[in-house]
Amino acid sequence: MGYRPSADLHNANGLVRAPSVVRGGVLPWKIRPHLSTSIVLVMRCAFITGITGQDGSYLAELLLQKGYKVHGLVRRTSAMVTLRIGHLLAHPELHIHYGDITDGQHLMRLVLETEPDEIYNLAAQSHVRLSFDLPVYTTQTVSGGALFVLEAARMLQRSKEVRVYQASSSEMFGNIDEWPQTEVTRFAPQSPYACAKVHAFHQTVNYRDAFGLFAANGILFNHESPRRGAEFVTRKITLAAARIQRGEQEKLYLGNLDAARDWGYAGDYVNAMWRILQHDEPTDFVIATGVSHTVRDFLDETFRHFNSLEWQDVVETDSKLIRPTEVHHLVGDSSKAADLLGWKPQVDFEGLVKLMVEHDTGIGVER
């Protein structure tokens, strides 16, 4: 059946698709005619790959709050990986399915069985530095995984409408000399991770154009939180500062301090993901704050919260942390998202650092 312009609320089975955003509010329910005289309300359903990650955990929270039934793909490991969604596991509308994004056949079965209205493809080997050591595996998860998701959605749309969100990245812009980057800026990827994301981006656009699938890319710039993995630079810094203050760590080893990133808050960015799939038409959006800071700025802002510490006394450079090819300066222009989705970031750079420092020093409340 495929995506058709939004005015058409009838699908091929004669069922009625309720508009998903009504007078600025949200309908967590789909309305279906029943026995020609009454209607039944059907709960909206989402499938999230990468639900155990930073973004997956915030997105699951958001969708459950909105009244969705949520299915999540979780890797089977010998140790606990559900730390970030531990507080949600008892929720009656959260359903966990073991699986791996590189197992396309299993993913297809899960998608066809769960029949989601929306699929958010967040699963990935998402660490850029590591992708130089693991280029094949990174490509299998990032690019192959996205293709499996798109294929599964293409199959499902034979029987019902489904919308797909693809987690694209500002890393795709690489070292292009155009600032800020927008939806029409050229890609110049600088890592195996970014190359794989570019492939997934174009596959998503092509499934939209060729097969009529409602598939959209969110080109998200760096977003952080107290749930950010400890091996990304922001969390590495806030965790280290807190440990150094407690006397649990002496030095903080870092790579390039001059790299500049447009850092936002993950809680704001999952809201943008959801809005992208509620838009009338499938299209791609840059999601960013529009403000860029260097790693050095992040150190300054973090250590401002620790009166007795100077970062210059504890930070040392480790050449192993310098990337073979670095992305030097990213800053995004998200005016398309502001105009069409009404999306704007709520947390600024100083607020983000404060949130992370307060969490890591144990005085803050997790958001």
Which residues lie near ligand G4F (CB under 6 A)?
126, 128-129, 169-171, 221-222, 231-233, 236, 254-256, 259, 261, 295, 321, 323, 326
C-alpha distance from residue 13 to each of 2, 16, 109, 187 (Å): 12, 9, 22, 40
Smallest separation (angstroms) from ligand G4F to the CB of 180: 13
Contacted by 128, from ligand G4F, ligand NAP, none: CB < 5 to 8 Å by type: ligand G4F
Give me 224's structure tokens. Answer: 């952080």
Question: Please, which residue, 219 or 244, has the CB nearer to ligand NAP?
Answer: 219
203 lines the binding site for ligand NAP (CB under 6 A):
no
Question: Does 52 help bind ligand NAP (rule: CB under 6 A)?
Answer: yes
Q: Interface with ligand NAP includes 234 (CB under 6 A)? A: no
Q: Of the residues 61, 118, 161, 171, which is catalytic? A: 171
Tell me the C-alpha distance between 262 and 286, whole Å: 12
Q: Which of 3, 68, 120, 193 is catalytic?
A: 193
**Is 50 a binder of ligand NAP (CB under 6 A)?**
yes
Known catalytic membership, residue 137:
no
Query: Which of ligand G4F, ligand NAP, none does 114 bind, CB closer than 5 to 8 A by kind?
Result: none
The CA distance from 36 to 341, in Å, is 35
The reply to whether 171 belongs to the active site is yes
* Residue 169 in contact with ligand NAP, rule: CB under 6 A: yes
User: If you write DSSP's letter for every residue of 175-234 in order, what string do you get?
Assistant: T-S-SSB-TTSPP---SHHHHHHHHHHHHHHHHHHHH--EEEEEEEPPEE-TTS-TTSHH
Pick the closer one to ligand NAP by CB: 126 or 302.
126
Q: Which helix (H) or strand (E) holds 96?
A: strand 94-98
Q: How far is the CB of 115 from ligand G4F (least distance, A)?
A: 29
Going from the C-alpha of 133 to that of each of 196, 255, 350, the distances in angstroms are 14, 16, 33
Scanning the structure block, which residue is given the tokens 């060729």?
A: 210
- Residue 353 near which of ligand NAP, ligand G4F, none (CB within 5-8 Å, type-dependent): none
131 belongs to the binding site for ligand NAP (CB under 6 A): no
What are residue 130's phi and psi, to 5 degrees?
A: -65, -25
Q: Total binding residues for ligand NAP by CB under 6 A?
A: 24
Of the residues 2, 28, 104, 229, which one makes contact with ligand NAP according to CB under 6 A = 229
How many other CB atoms sit within 10 Å of the CB of residue 303? 24
At its nearest, how many Å lie between ligand NAP and the CB of residue 261?
9
Nearest to 189 by CA among 143, 251, 237: 143
Question: One-letter amino acid identity for 280?
Answer: D
Point out the residue whose Cβ comes nearest to ligand NAP: 53
Are residues 337 and 343 in contact, defined by beta-carbon separation less than 8 angstroms? yes
- Residues 46 and 117 sit within 8 Å (Cβ to Cβ): yes
Output Rg (C-alpha) for the chain, integer angstroms: 21
The SS3 of residue 115 is: coil
Residue 159 C-beta: closest distance to ligand NAP, Å: 25
246 binds ligand NAP (CB under 6 A): no
Inter-CA distances, 218 with 85, 169, 172, 329, 353, Å: 23, 8, 12, 19, 24
- The residue from 19, 39, 43, 75 that contacts ligand NAP (CB under 6 A) is 75
Task: Kindly state the smallest distance separating residue 73's Cβ from ligand G4F, in Å.
Answer: 18
Minimal distance, residue 93 CB to ligand G4F, in Å: 28
Selecting among 169, 170, 191, 334, the annotated active-site residue is: 169
Binding site for ligand NAP (CB under 6 A): 50, 52-56, 73, 75, 81, 100-102, 122-126, 141, 167, 169, 220, 222-223, 229
Catalogue the active-site residues.
169, 171, 193
